[in-house]
Amino acid sequence: MRFMLLFSRQGKLRLQKWYLATADKDKKKMVRELMQVVLARKPKMCSFLEWRDLKVVYKRYASLYFCCAIEGQDNELITLELIHRYVELLDKYFGSVCELDIIFNFEKAYFILDEFVMGGEIQDTSKKSVLKAIEQADLLQEEDESPRSVLEEMGLA
Amino acid sequence: MFTNVCFCLGLKMVQVAEGCPKHSVLICVLFISGKSKEAEIKRINKELANIRSKFKGDKALDGYSKKKYVCKLLFIFLLGHDIDFGHMEAVNLLSSNRYTEKQIGYLFISVLVNSNSELIRLINNAIKNDLASRNPTFMGLALHCIANVGSREMAEAFAGEIPKILVAGDTMDSVKQSAALCLLRLYRTSPDLVPMGDWTSRVVHLLNDQHLGVVTAATSLITTLAQKNPEEFKTSVSLAVSRLSRIVTSASTDLQDYTYYFVPAPWLSVKLLRLLQCYPPPEDPAVRGRLTECLETILNKAQEPPKSKKVQHSNAKNAVLFEAISLIIHHDSEPNLLVRACNQLGQFLQHRETNLRYLALESMCTLASSEFSHEAVKTHIETVINALKTERDVSVRQRAVDLLYAMCDRSNAQQIVAEMLNYLETADYSIREEIVLKVAILAEKYAVDYTWYVDTILNLIRIAGDYVSEEVWYRVIQIVINRDDVQGYAAKTVFEALQAPACHENLVKVGGYILGEFGNLIAGDPRSSPLIQFNLLHSKFHLCSVPTRALLLSTYIKFVNLFPEIKTTIQDVLRSDSQLKNADVELQQRAVEYLRLSTIASTDILATVLEEMPPFPERESSILAKLKKKKGPGTVTDLEEIKKERSSDMNGSAEPASVNASAVSTPSPSADLLGLGAAPVTNSAPPPSSSGSLLVDVFSDSASAVAPLAPGSDDNFASPDLASSEVVSEEPADTVHDADELFHKFVCKNNGVLFENQLLQIGLKSEFRQNLGRMFIFYGNKTSTQFLNFTPTVICSDDLQSSLNLQTKPVDPTVDGGAQVQQVVNIECVSDFMEAPILNIQFRYGGTFQNLSVKLPITLNKFFQPTEMSSQDFFQRWKQLSNPKQEVQNIFKAKHPMDAEITKAKIIGFGSALLEEVDPNPANFVGAGIIHTKTTQIGCLLRLEPNLQAQMYRLTLRTSKEAVSQRLCELLSEQF
């Protein structure tokens, strides 16, 4: 996988993960271009499209688009299920996840993704293993300090 | 519940009661109420200023506050704003012992740090400490950070360390998984820095690991490594087969959490099948049998009723199925499996899931190219044609067009072309041009009867005239000119088509050209007498653009020769004010010159000058080249390329607009592409290009077009003196010295004289290894006077900058008389590239300012590493690269004596290995090598077939990347 993007129906980027070093300027351009393409597509259309020299696999969950760019040889359907598995993980962790969870607990969304996918390849497909890793990290955090969400910390600024 | 009144980024927050019931989340007014962008930016700038002052303040911040502010910066960055500070604070967090602080530090670095050398050293230190900590959580964070940044510096620091962690006996499973993928990432960016060694065999055995997560991660790593080092990882094949076999035969509950919606370990299955695609079918019959069983089981399972109605179940199951089919196609050896795969895909073609229909069409495209399944694919033609008519999604229709194109052969070409033409009438604008190209190619390729071909192309122009590019109508003209059996029919057909009250301008062009050449063939019929033909064409004249009018004027002068009886009518037209005083110089010039020519030249001279066009030399169809281009990567640059190439790479010179400035100034219309330039010599091909204008490039095959380097081609290699005599420029100019010959000379060698004039000599010495290189440039002052303000600069275009990294040190601005200064250029090839950098040199000599530029011969082939392989391996790979996008071919005339030894030396100098006894024909040359760039390695195969009788070569390049094939072919073609 080359990169993964999460963005909203309104075209706000919520999460971006690049698995190949890309210049900031190019990143911005690609994100803008790809959002435009994907948002313009109708609901019943197929989830795959050719874009530049990549294949794009996307799926919409409520107001959020999950969008992966993969290479020509990669398997589209399994990528589609990779997206689904990630959503399941988020859902399990946050308890019916919504866009706001991802906005305000963005660091968690990143950590979960990191535990799940690394260097563009899936690291562990077991839901249990991934969540266990995250929970362990959370435990460490509690040892560190009483838990405060990022938002609360920001609120105290 | 809402308890807090928060201020986020200094903004007032309001609570949103519904929408997010489970969190008492307070949300910035800004995000919800859609306050103006300006207000948001203002707030954020204020907050940034605040954080900046905290970081700069006298009071040292504690870890907690540091974390808080770094986290805020991240948040702001993720909102889409630029962050240019805080990196140092984030790095400090890495050395914290508190997990959350460390974690945020790493996150910030992963998201925001590019390879900034100062910081990287500090970051690397922190990572080193964490890797050594033996604390699995910290090790995990560190490995993630390496994988996320993945820069070369990181690879340098850790590529040796990570394999040790990966294979150490006491490493925890989760760390092993991270280490495997981290190594994979480093290998992708800097393969040269990951040393192969003992660890590789132990990594292969991870395929047997108990922990499926470890196996999954290891399979990804092995697949990536095996693609480049197949020998090293050969043992993985049997292990992968037995693992796969255990998975596909397991019950859905056996694998516990690794079963996904009743499908056992779908990700791992897909990855194992991918790994097997790096290899030919297993040689060991037992392994091979077991694999065939697996593939059959997977195909059988597709027929079983679903275990769940959920789309996830069918997606996961079909993901494995499609990957299995890819493997079957890759092996291309079991006719039975191929036909079963084809039938399975046939079922999917009518599935209600759009996704499956899309994938089935895509997968069938590759199946169509196998000899075993081509016929089976063809049986689905009606379904595919139906898809073209009924699919609502343009991307699916696009796949259907691709498949029709792939399954087309002589037996169904008429039907497919007719259906494509039908579809073209209503096709989406975005794919029309591509369909036009495909129709044009198929019509030409499978034309038994050229009248059908001519009809098809004229239909194309009628239906989608705007999308018929120049390549397409040039091609029809080339074919008509080269085949005398179709000329009369073509003249008749265009004449009829032109009768339509509104016809596309492209038709006028084709009509004008063809009637100009072959109008005489239909002039006997009173309904298409010369005058009627002329009047018909001239009735369109005023509606056409300038280039078309220019073409029509040439048609008129051709008519003067063909039909002396209407000469006066034509002269009257040429003489009219609207022609002779036309505001457009080109039109005016043509009118003046043609009028004059028709008045003063004797019929003999006219007949010679305006003779019928000689046949065009056969080359690869330019349309095919264009289609290959179109489907290739980087569409923007490609468009540019196509534009550029329009003027230089046409096989036929039918382009009327390419009469350039120098040609216009010549007294005779010698550069007129209608063939007038070719006329003064005999009627044989190839036409010489006397004008030295664009035509030089157009007919770069012809001997006279390219000034040969030297009479003896071996000079091409060794003689710097010769090089020095080539470009003698008396006045240093400010344009690039077009010393292309010299430039090409360096393609196959690294040292020599690049440039020389009366003042200055530039010599080069260079060495390349993998994706790196170093070039020494020597500037010699040939005079006895000092050069002052001597400043050489290496300039890369924007495109080039991203793919080629060049570092130079300035040189001493004073060069004494007779002295030589040296400059070093360090070169890193990041990705494949087309152009060459420019070396610009400015200095003052005796009070005059000198400015000159030469192309620096850093070409893609310099990053070749030769690869030796057996004949069997070679042809296996050759076959794998059979996609038309991967192959580029050029047929060209020998520019030097065809000496086998010299040719061999050149291929080796080019950088690839010269493979002996590979090609069944000993006269042919075969080479193989790998182009190393920072980002990827591209395997390249080449084959050069000399034809001594015709004094021609055919050069074929196959690589996994089209642009690379193209570039290498261009570079190497210039060498012989």
For B773, the enclosing helix (H) or strand (E) is: strand B772-781
B273-282, B809-818, B937-946: the lowest-pLDDT one: B809-818
- Residues B746, B751: Cα–Cα separation, whole Å: 7
- Name residue, tokens 């073509």: B490
Q: Is A124 on the interface with B (CB under 8 A)?
A: yes
B212-216, B494-498, B673-677: the lowest-pLDDT one: B673-677
Q: Is A61 on the interface with B (CB under 8 A)?
A: no
Q: Is A142 on the interface with B (CB under 8 A)?
A: no
B83 to chain A: nearest residue by CA?
A: A24
- What Rg, from alpha-carbon coordinates, does chain B have? 34
User: Could you tell me the pLDDT band of residue B640, with boundaries at 50, 70 and 90?
Assistant: very low
What does the mean pLDDT of chain B come to? 80
User: What does DSSP say about strands B736-737 and B752-756: parallel, antiparallel, or unpaired?
Assistant: unpaired
Q: Give the model's pLDDT for residue B300.
A: 93
- Residues B353, B309: Cα–Cα separation, whole Å: 13
Q: How far A59 CA lies from chain B's nearest CA (Å)? A: 12
Q: How far A42 CA lies from chain B's nearest CA (Å)? A: 9
Tally of helices (H runs) and strands (E runs) in chain A: 6, 7
Q: Give the model's pLDDT for residue B294.
A: 94
Q: How far B229 CA lies from chain A's nearest CA (Å)? A: 18
Q: Give the model's pLDDT for residue B355.
A: 93
Q: Is A139 on the interface with B (CB under 8 A)?
A: no
User: What does DSSP say about strands B925-932 and A13-18: parallel, antiparallel, or unpaired?
Assistant: unpaired
Q: Give the model's pLDDT for residue B177.
A: 92
Beta bridge mates, B828: B772, B805
pLDDT at A13 over 50: yes
A144 to chain B: nearest residue by CA?
A: B98
For B808, the enclosing helix (H) or strand (E) is: strand B804-808
Q: Give the model's pLDDT for residue B77.
A: 83
In this structure, are residues B447 and B466 in contact, taking their beta carbons and an 8 Å threshold? no
In this structure, are residues B159 and B195 in contact, taking their beta carbons and an 8 Å threshold? yes
Domain that holds residue A117: 3-154
Q: Give the model's pLDDT for residue A113.
A: 92
By Cβ distance, the residue of A52, A81, A126 closest to B633 is: A52
Say how many residues make up chain B: 976
pTM metric for this prediction: 0.64
Say how many residues make up chain A: 157
- Segment B686-696 shows an average pLDDT of 33
Write out A69-90 in H/E/C secondary structure. EECCCCCHHHHHHHHHHHHHHH
Give percent of chain B above pLDDT 70: 84
Cβ B393–A122 below 8 Å, yes or no? no
pLDDT at B270 over 90: yes
- Segment B390-397 shows an average pLDDT of 88
Q: Give the model's pLDDT for residue B630.
A: 67
User: Could you tell me the pLDDT band of residue B60, with boundaries at 50, 70 and 90?
Assistant: confident
Tell whether residue B453 is among the known ligand binding residues. no
Q: Give the model's pLDDT for residue B736.
A: 57
Q: How far A49 CA lies from chain B's nearest CA (Å)? A: 6
B73 to chain A: nearest residue by CA?
A: A154
* Interval B451-466: pLDDT, tens: 899 999 988 888 888 8
User: Could you tell me the pLDDT band of residue B29, with boundaries at 50, 70 and 90?
Assistant: very low
Would you call B636 exposed, middle or buried from its count of C-beta atoms within 10 A (0-12, 13-18, 19+)? exposed
Would you call B460 exposed, middle or buried from its count of C-beta atoms within 10 A (0-12, 13-18, 19+)? buried
- Residues B188, B144: Cα–Cα separation, whole Å: 15
- Segment B347-354 shows an average pLDDT of 91
Please tell me whether residue B265 adopts helix, strand or coil conformation: coil
The conformation of residue B929, written as its DSSP 8-state character, comes to E
To test the contact with chain A by mutation, choose from B390, B393, B398, B628 the residue with the greatest count of A C-beta atoms within 10 A, namely B393
In this structure, are residues B68 and B34 in contact, taking their beta carbons and an 8 Å threshold? no
Q: Give the model's pLDDT for residue B221.
A: 94
Cβ B395–A49 below 8 Å, yes or no? yes
pLDDT at B13 over 60: no
**For the domain that residue A51 is a member of, what is the CATH number?**
3.30.450.60
Cβ A121–B184 below 8 Å, yes or no? yes
Cβ A126–B213 below 8 Å, yes or no? yes
* Interval B406-426: pLDDT, tens: 999 888 999 999 999 999 888
In this structure, are residues B803 and B827 in contact, taking their beta carbons and an 8 Å threshold? no
pLDDT at B275 over 90: yes
ipTM score for this prediction: 0.91
* Interval B802-846: pLDDT, tens: 888 888 888 888 888 888 888 888 898 988 888 888 898 988 887
User: What does DSSP say about strands B925-932 and B937-947: parallel, antiparallel, or unpaired?
Assistant: antiparallel
Task: State which amino acid sits at residue B156.
Answer: E
Write the DSSP assignment of B744-767 as a string of letters.
HHTTS-S-EEEEE-SSEEEEEEEE
Cβ A118–B181 below 8 Å, yes or no? yes
Q: Give the model's pLDDT for residue A128.
A: 85
Q: Give the model's pLDDT for residue B672.
A: 34
- Segment B282-311 shows an average pLDDT of 92
Nearest to B166 by CA among B193, B204, B128: B204
Peptide bond preceding B686: is omega within 30 degrees of 0, i.e. cis? yes
* Interval B174-208: pLDDT, tens: 899 999 999 999 998 888 888 888 888 899 999 99
Q: Is A93 on the interface with B (CB under 8 A)?
A: no
Q: Is A25 on the interface with B (CB under 8 A)?
A: no
Tally the domains of chain A: 1
Residues of A in contact with B27 (CB under 8 A): 100
Q: Is A51 on the interface with B (CB under 8 A)?
A: no
The conformation of residue B114, written as its DSSP 8-state character, comes to -
Please tell me whether residue B845 adopts helix, strand or coil conformation: strand
What does the mean pLDDT of chain A come to? 86
Q: Give the model's pLDDT for residue A104.
A: 82
Would you call B210 exposed, middle or buried from its count of C-beta atoms within 10 A (0-12, 13-18, 19+)? exposed
Helices B530-541 and B567-575, packing angle to 10 deg: 20
